[in-house]
């Protein structure tokens, strides 16, 4: 049976209201929604949403939200992206230096892109992450070299 668009819209409203309203930054939303996706199948899973609707509707709703979060992040300025990354690092309770090193080496943002994203747009976001990480690293380095008062 084909998934009805109205059901998907209701499911999108549901996930926005219950979950995404608690995640204010688009970077965090992108990472959260990408983690709902099975890397082997490309399908999204959310037990709560699937129990209220159907697995198919939940999957499409999560994919829609994922695309939305991605578009929001792409439209952010570099200043905003750096700010969101700083907040994200604080929320993970990781050492900023370790975080920047890991992200530069592993580039985890590459797997957070929704399917069928235009390659130029995806490349632009990867490039912005690369620059934002370089800005953060430069800040950390300058903070380290400043003499303690």
Q: Judged by CB under 8 A, does residue 75 bind another protein?
A: yes
Tell me how far CA of residue 10 lies from CA of 23, 35, 62, 120, 136, in angstroms.
Answer: 19, 22, 12, 31, 39
Q: According to CB under 8 A, which one of 102, 106, 111, 138 is a site residue for another protein?
A: 138
Residue 56, CA distances (Å) to 16, 37, 38, 50, 63 in order: 18, 13, 14, 8, 11
Under the criterion CB under 8 A, does residue 124 sit at the interface with another protein?
A: yes
State yes or no: residue 4 binds another protein (CB under 8 A). no
Pick one of 118, 144, 146, 148: the residue that binds another protein (CB under 8 A).
118
The token pair that represents 60 in the structure block = 């499409």
Binding site for another protein (CB under 8 A): 74-75, 77-79, 118, 120-121, 123-124, 127, 130-131, 134-135, 138, 142
């Amino acid at each position: 049976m084909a998934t009805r668009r109205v059901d998907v819209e209701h499911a999108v409203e549901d996930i926005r209201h219950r979950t995404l309203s608690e995640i204010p930054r688009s970077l965090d939303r992108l990472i959260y929604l990408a983690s709902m996706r099975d890397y082997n199948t490309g399908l999204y899973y959310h037990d709560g949403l699937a129990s209220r609707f159907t697995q198919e509707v939940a999957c499409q709703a999560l994919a829609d939200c994922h695309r939305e979060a991605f578009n929001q992040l792409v439209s952010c300025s570099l200043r905003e992206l750096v700010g969101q990354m700083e907040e994200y690092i604080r929320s993970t309770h990781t050492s900023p230096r370790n975080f920047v090193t890991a992200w530069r080496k592993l580039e985890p943002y590459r797997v957070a892109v929704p399917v069928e994203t235009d390659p130029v747009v995806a490349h632009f976001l990867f490039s912005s992450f690369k620059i934002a990480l370089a800005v953060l690293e430069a800040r950390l380095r300058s903070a380290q070299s400043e003499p303690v008062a």
